[in-house]
Amino acid sequence: MNRPVGPNAKLFKSRCTVLVRDVKNAPLKVKEWADIKIENKIKMFDLVLTYFKVEGRKHLVWAQMNSSYRSYRHLLKKRYFEPYDNPEIARANIPLEMEKEDWDYLVNLWIDEGWQKISQQNKMSRAANSIIHTTGAKGAQQRAEEAFEQTGQEIDRLRLWELTHTRVNGQACNEETQEKLVDLIHFRIYLRNYHLK
């Protein structure tokens, strides 16, 4: 788990998002984050260094930037492309402050057969996952950090799973998740009994 945690995590993520939304830093006319030039990534990392003490953690900063970059492109697709049944109508409705060339590139990418096939496979995979987490935007690592701050003790993976898959009332979001939660509780009891012998 290499996600930012702690009191400045939200600010750090926000700063990374601002950097990757600037096409001078992270051009939109590439298929994915991996295709952005290393010089651009180094420049963005150096900009992050002016705000945060992250020396020696370049790969972790870039992982967050990758996540922010993908989220931004997903937002563009969801807000400005998907509402239209016809890609040409979507193409004509260029988002504010975006260059036509960048928007044309994204529309062409999203209507590409190969892209469509991968997108459909990913949708099916997400739909098949019936175990629902309740972490929201925080993520499991941040929840573990908060639990440590409250109790002063590290939590184990079973407790973390329980924290990230239940509501405030202790119940899971759906039946399948509740069944897994009960299985984990039984497993925890088994482990305690096994270690006591």
In the chain, count H helices and then E strands.
9, 0
The sign of the torsion formed by the CA atoms of 154, 158, 159, 164 equals positive
Question: Which of 168, 172, 194 is closest to 183 using CA atoms?
Answer: 172
| 155 or 91, higher pLDDT | 91
Q: In the predicted model, what is the mean pLDDT of the chain?
A: 88
Across the range 113-120, mean pLDDT stands at: 93
Give the pLDDT of residue 94. 96
Q: Are 145 and 192 in contact (CB under 8 A)?
A: no
Lowest mean pLDDT among 61-65, 107-111, 114-118, 129-133: 129-133
Q: What is the tens place of the pLDDT at every residue in 161-180?
A: 888 888 888 888 888 888 88
pLDDT exceeds 70 at position 196: no
Q: Is the pLDDT of residue 5 over 70?
A: no
Stated length of the chain: 197
Q: In angstroms, how far is the first alpha carbon of the chain from the final one? A: 33
* 48-106 confidence digits (pLDDT tens): 999 988 888 888 899 999 999 999 999 999 999 999 999 999 999 999 989 999 999 99
Contact 165/177 with Cβ under 8 angstroms? yes
Q: Span 32-58, mean pLDDT?
A: 92
Confidence class for position 26, pLDDT limits 50, 70, 90: very high
- 14-28, 78-92, 130-144, 155-169: which range is least confident on average? 130-144
For the chain, the C-alpha Rg in angstroms (whole number) is: 21
pLDDT value of residue 160:
83
Please say whether the beta carbons of 1 and 140 come within 8 A: yes
Residue 19 has pLDDT above 90, yes or no: yes
Rounded to the nearest 10 degrees, the angle between the axes of helix 157-164 and helix 140-151 is: 110
Alpha carbon distances (Å) from 35 to 2, 30, 95, 181: 21, 6, 23, 40
Q: Which residue has the higher pLDDT, 145 or 61?
A: 61
CA geometry: angle at 115 spanning 138 and 122, to 5°?
Answer: 45
What tokens appear for 189 in the block? 């009891």
Handedness of CA 51, 54, 57, 60 (dihedral sign): negative
Sorted by sequence, the CB contacts under 8 Å of residue 3 that are 6+ apart come out as 9, 64, 139, 141, 142
Total Cβ atoms within 10 A of residue 10: 13
* pLDDT at residue 3, as a whole number: 67
